[in-house]
Amino acid sequence: MQPLSLDEFDRRAGEIDRAALASGPHAHFCSSTAWVLPAQAALMPRRQPWLYELEDGFAALMRGMHEQGFRYVEPLEAMWGLACPLLGARTADLGAQFEQLVLARRDQWDVLALSGLVTGSALLRELRDRFARQLVVQQNPSSSRFVASLEGGVDGYLARRSRNFRKGLRRDVRRAAEHGVELDIVADLPADQIDAVYRRILAIEARSWKGAEGTGIVDGPMRSFYRAMLERLADTGRHRLLFARVGDADAAYILGTRFGDTYRGLQFSYTTEHASLALGNVCQMRQIEELCAEGCASYDLGGGLDYKRRWAETEVQSEILLVVNRSR
């Protein structure tokens, strides 16, 4: 069990991301370095690294002191509970090694929070059963995300949607074309163009309903979080970004990432003055067409808004395993 600094964890991003991809059914991208390191820097309170290389993978956590006086260990991203902190393919071996790590350092923590564990998964059962033998374990619902299969390409995807959905989508695409909407794919994003492209994204956000309600990514920590994430995605060519334009003006964008054989949607917005053109639907469909063309297997829309149910077939539930150390 080799401890790692945040800098070492970052330098080994490729290796850690491969371990994330090999890990069970969990939210692979949200356990990867492109998600957890920007979240750690922009969204989380000050904490100390609790990062370890295990024999069969990695344990990616941070250690902090709660305002109520207890010491906690949690994933780098603990805001939404999407990051799974144990990365590796061999579930039983990984669980045994992590148990050994946790018990050997029992004097360092009072509460251990393990998020991003898919309900019913082998890793969740392995960790629960191991820790329940010696410690107090609580299993709590955490989050859900909607996932669509892209099997069969565009035709296969649309065949799994309702007739009304398909009819409405065809109408939206046709109407956007009639109003001169153009869709521009950003295939390459060199480092010296990231700031300019991000300014375009933020300008659309500011003129969207999210900007009006203060729920977008224009200001504060979320702005820094997505800027850092976009830089990492562009550096590895894993960003998937397109803009919708009406005349000479940007009217919408959609941003996501390809990680393994899954596309993870991240953000999209459209300006309020073009809300009647249903550019959210138009951009989503164009993104799906591009993903199918490159052989992507699934589309993880994330959680939150209920409209995502119409675009997906599966709702994946995740849980947080809380382990309480009462030996102190």
Residue range 55-94, pLDDT digits in tens: 999 999 999 999 999 999 999 999 999 999 999 999 999 9
137-154 tens-digit pLDDT: 998 887 889 999 999 999
Quote the domain boundaries for residue 237. 151-296
pLDDT at 26: 85
Count Cα atoms within 13 angstroms, Cβ side, for 287: 32
With a cut of 90, say whether residue 304 has pLDDT above it.
no
Residue 276, judged by CB atoms within 10 A of its CB (0-12, 13-18, 19+), counts as: exposed
Are 223 and 217 in contact by the 8 Å Cβ rule? The answer is yes
Asked whether residue 84 falls in the same domain as residue 28, the answer is: yes
Whether 301 maps to a domain, the answer reads: no
Angle at 9 between CA 109 and CA 13, to 5 degrees: 135
Asked whether residue 77 falls in the same domain as residue 110, the answer is: yes
pLDDT at 226: 97
Are 225 and 43 in contact by the 8 Å Cβ rule? The answer is yes
CA 282 to chain CA centroid, nearest Å? 22
Asked whether residue 125 falls in the same domain as residue 157, the answer is: no
Total domains in the fold of the chain: 2
With a cut of 70, say whether residue 327 has pLDDT above it.
no
CATH label of the domain that carries residue 211: 3.40.630.30
Asked whether residue 290 falls in the same domain as residue 158, the answer is: yes
CA distance 136 to 13: 33
Mean pLDDT, the chain, rounded, equals 95
CA distance 323 to 130: 11
Closest CA to 282 of 169, 202, 186: 169
| pTM attached to this predicted model | 0.94
CATH label of the domain that carries residue 47: 3.40.630
Asked whether residue 158 falls in the same domain as residue 286, the answer is: yes
Whether 304 maps to a domain, the answer reads: no
Asked whether residue 156 falls in the same domain as residue 242, the answer is: yes
Query: What are the backbone dihedrals phi and psi of residue 179, each rounded to the nearest 5 degrees, phi first?
Result: -95, 10
pLDDT at 162: 95
pLDDT-derived band at 24 (thresholds 50, 70, 90) equals confident
pLDDT at 234: 97
pLDDT-derived band at 328 (thresholds 50, 70, 90) equals low
Asked whether residue 195 falls in the same domain as residue 291, the answer is: yes
Higher confidence at residue 157 or residue 328? 157
With a cut of 70, say whether residue 314 has pLDDT above it.
yes
Asked whether residue 66 falls in the same domain as residue 163, the answer is: no
Whether 218 maps to a domain, the answer reads: yes
